[in-house]
Structure 1
Amino acid sequence: MKGNRLALDAVLTALAPAVWGSTYLVTTELLPPGRPLLASTVRALPAGLVLLTVGRVLPRGVWWWRALVLGVLNIGAFFYLLFVAAYHLPGGVAALVVALQPMLVLLLAAFLLKDRIRPMQLAACVLGVLGVALLVLQPQAGVDAVGVLAGLGGAVCMASGIVLTKRWGRPDGVGVLTFTGWQLTVGGLALAPVTLVVEGLPSRITGTNIAGFAYLSVIGALFAYAIWFRGIGRLPALAVSILGFASPLAATGLGYVVLGQALTPLQMTGAAAVVAAVALAQPRQRRTAQAQADGPVSESDNHIPAGGGKL
């Protein structure tokens, strides 16, 4: 029963990065060109305010600064860097750079959560990165220094946000939607003034632009982050992080279905490698006898309940 529940949690959580895989398509096809800050702000702030209005619960005590840190890492800085990478790099290169974040999660979880680094986890990380490379890289893909640095920065933010969210858990009595609303609002508020100063508002917004912004806010932020933070509470940090490989997988699939892009044998091999990497990293139910012999399980084997976590 527990094994089935873990599998269901993993599948549900994977929907979030699968939705995020559409970001590259929406950015290039629906949004105004060259406005990563505006895209980031509109994606985060409206969804966060809606969730705050529904939940009507504000952080208290230590959770004010925790919400600020998590909102900047998971939303504000990550959104901006993701869009900068998307504007400066081909989608495949951007996805590959961001795909390095499970390795960062592995290291941060060992340091902050005291998780053991297992050979199977290392193998899953390497296999996943290789799979993403086969899946998305093209021989003619160009590399832009700004885009690469933005992608690496986004990977660091995402990895840090996952591990700190796992470490701190959620306050008692605060549901996942309210918790998501805090972070989306903080991230959006952090981005809004920078957006106005650096980019300003576009002189013209089309119906296509509005549709793109609405999709990113409702589906790409409100829905996706709610199930993402739920998954972080229920699954080990690395298992959640590796599910992020579903993003380039979805991006490639959308390119095939929507844009009519062809799939090569190498890409199909890469897709298989990504699926294998995700499967390797997911938690498995221990046998009772083995669990008794091993003693208490580590933090990586159980989720942190609401109210759990360390300073």
Structure 2
Amino acid sequence: MLRNRLALVLVTALAPAVWGTTYLVTTELLPPGRPLLAAVIRCLPAGLLLIALTRRLPQGSWWWRSLILGALNIGVFQALLFIAAYRLPGGIAATVGAVQPLVTAGLSALVLGDRLTLRTVLAGIAGVAGVSLLVLRADAELDAVGVVAALGGAVVMAAGIVLSKRWASPAPMLATTGWQLTAGGLLLVPVTLLTEGAPPSHYSLANVLGYTYLCLIGAAVTYVLWFRGLRALPPTSVSFLALLSPVVATLLGWLALGQDLSPLQALGALVVLGSLLAAQIQRPRTAPESAPGAGPTAAPRPVRENA
């Protein structure tokens, strides 16, 4: 059982690890100043591809549920991320966004009835501290709108995680993921046209390779893994895995772009990894004592435990 859970956690962790490569791909392969266009090309074709593969459309309430989940997990989240990225230094945006696991834990307690433990709170605080050590710079300047957008992105992502757990789709995972990617991508189209204008008329081979990677690997594959993990694991445990993205982005900047990696940043990465591990540890569940006269087949009611 523990081996199965560990394997599921590791596979789910591949998603935010791959998302951590987005910065490198964007700076090295994509046209500059087009982050929302990249989000649209990343999500919309991937969603349509998954729908074409499964040949399954939403039914009943899943038409509006897919729209809401697609907005929270993809569309609105990407738009807020775009605003925060443009108005804040990357270190501040990442540090503010790192509160997302704490927000997820709180929403899980309110909406799902999950238990909010002291270990989760401390792990969340450690995660924010670790990300700040990893990416925050002393000369970074605050911007009120950017900070609100970054906080809004964290809240929106947390709400998407919790609602994705609450609304368990009866459809195959590929289809459910395709619905959300398509809905989120469609919501981003008008925002992209209003803020960035028409797409470029010419794309280089590097641009095509970058967009293809983000679409097939960075969306179609990773979101399936992400939602699959969310279906089987506690939402708070999954939310902590998102902290892997700034760790991977920093390591790739050091390895591939020759950026400096200070001892303080290395300490931050270790703190983040420690918070991830702490969030995945579940306290063993003990069966309550049998009531007098209860037969051997009497089963205890399942208790929902959140890391």
TM-score by length of 2: 0.90
Instruction: Provide closer, same or farther for how the CA distance between residues 188 and 132 of structure 1 changes in structure 2, counting only shifts above 3 A.
Output: same
Q: How does 1:77-96 map to 2 (within 5 A)?
A: 77-96=76-95
Residue aligned with 2:139, SS:
coil
Q: Distance in 2 between matches of 1:169 and 1:18?
A: 25
Distance in 1 between residues matched to 2:88 and 2:206, nearest whole Å: 23
Q: Which residue of 1 aligns with 2:193?
A: 196
- Map of 2:297 onto structure 1: none
Counterpart in 1 of 2:44?
A: 45
Q: Alignment length, in residue pairs?
A: 297
Partners of 2:160 and 2:211 lie apart in 1 by 24
Aligned position for 2:293: none
Contact 1:15 1:224 in 2 (8 A): yes
What SS is found at the alignment partner of 1:296? coil
Instruction: Give the Å deviation of 1:98.
Output: 1.4
CA distance in 1, matches of 2:17, 2:82: 17
**Residue 16 (structure 1) shift:** 0.7
Q: CA contact under 8 A between 1:95 and 1:136: conserved in structure 2?
A: yes
Alignment of 1:2-21 (within 5 A): 2-21=1-20
Give 3-state SS (helix, strand or coil) of 1:205's partner: coil
Bigger radius of gyration, 1 or 2? 2
Identify the residue that residue 224 of structure 2 maps to in structure 1.
226
Query: Hey, what does 1:305 align to over in structure 2?
Result: none
- The verdict on how the C-alpha distance between 1:136 and 1:296 changes in structure 2, with shifts beyond 3 A counting, is farther
Which residue identity is paired with 2:256?
Answer: V
Where does residue 164 of structure 1 map in the other structure? 163
Q: Is the Cα–Cα contact under 8 Å of residues 92 and 138 in structure 1 kept in the other structure?
A: yes
Query: Are the counterparts in 1 of residues 112 and 166 from structure 2 also a CA contact under 8 Å?
Result: yes
For 1:128, the aligned partner's letter is G
Q: Is this contact kept in 2: 1:24–1:86, CA < 8 A?
A: no
The alignment partner of 1:59 has SS state of coil
1:260: which partner in 2?
Answer: 258
- How has the CA–CA distance of structure 1 residues 285 and 177 changed in structure 2, closer, same or farther, with 3 Å as cutoff? farther
- Alpha-carbon separation, structure 1, partners of 2:289 and 2:68: 39
- Give, in whole Å, the separation in 2 of the partners of 1:97 and 1:212: 27
Change (3 A) 1:142 1:264: same
**Could you say if the C-alpha distance between residues 216 and 104 of structure 1 is closer, same or farther in structure 2, counting changes exceeding 3 Å?**
same
Letter in 2 for 1:189: L
CA distance in 1, matches of 2:10, 2:55: 30
Answer whether contact 1:97 1:148 (CA < 8 A) is retained: yes
Contact 1:3–1:285, Cα closer than 8 Å, also in 2 = no
Cα offset, 1:280, TM superposition: 0.8
Q: CA-atom RMSD, angstroms?
A: 2.0
Q: Which amino acid aligns with 1:60?
A: Q
Query: Is the CA contact 2:56–2:175 (under 8 Å) kept in the aligned structure 1?
Result: yes
Alpha-carbon separation, structure 1, partners of 2:143 and 2:38: 21
Residue in 2 aligned with 1:296? 301
Aligned to 1:131: 130
1:307 matched residue in structure 2: none
Is the alpha carbon distance of 1:81 and 1:212 closer, same or farther for their aligned partners in structure 2, counting shifts above 3 Å? farther
Equivalent positions of 1:18-167 (< 5 A) are 18-167=17-166
8 Å contact from structure 1 (residues 21, 249) kept in 2: yes
Q: What is the Cα deviation at residue 285 of structure 1?
A: 6.6
SS of equivalent residue, structure 1 residue 262: coil
Give distance in 1, aligned partners of 2:85 and 2:79.
10
The answer to whether the aligner puts 1:183 opposite 2:191 as a matched pair is no
Which structure 1 residue ranges, 5 or more long, are not aligned? 303-311
**Cα displacement (A) at 1:13:** 0.8
Which letter maps to 1:279?
A: L
- Rate the CA distance shift 1:231–1:161 in 2: closer, same or farther, 3 A: same
- TM-score after normalising by structure 1: 0.89
Contact 2:95 2:132 survives alignment (8 Å):
yes
Shift, 1:71, TM fit: 0.6
Post-superposition CA distance 1:144-178 (Å, at most 9, x none): 4443332222111110000000111112xx21111
Consecutive unaligned residues of structure 2, counting only runs of 5 or more, are 291-299
One-letter amino acid of the counterpart of residue 185, structure 1: T
Instruction: Quote how far apart the aligned CAs of 1:267 are.
Output: 1.1
Q: 1:84 to 1:105 in 2, by over 3 A?
A: same
Offset, 1:78: 1.2
Report which stretch shifted further, 102-111 or 32-41: 32-41
| SS of structure 1 residue aligned to 2:237 | helix
The question of whether the paired residues in 2 share the 8 Å contact of 1:232 and 1:240 is answered with yes
Q: 1:240: which partner in 2?
A: 238
Whether contact under 8 Å (1:18, 1:246) holds in the other structure is: yes
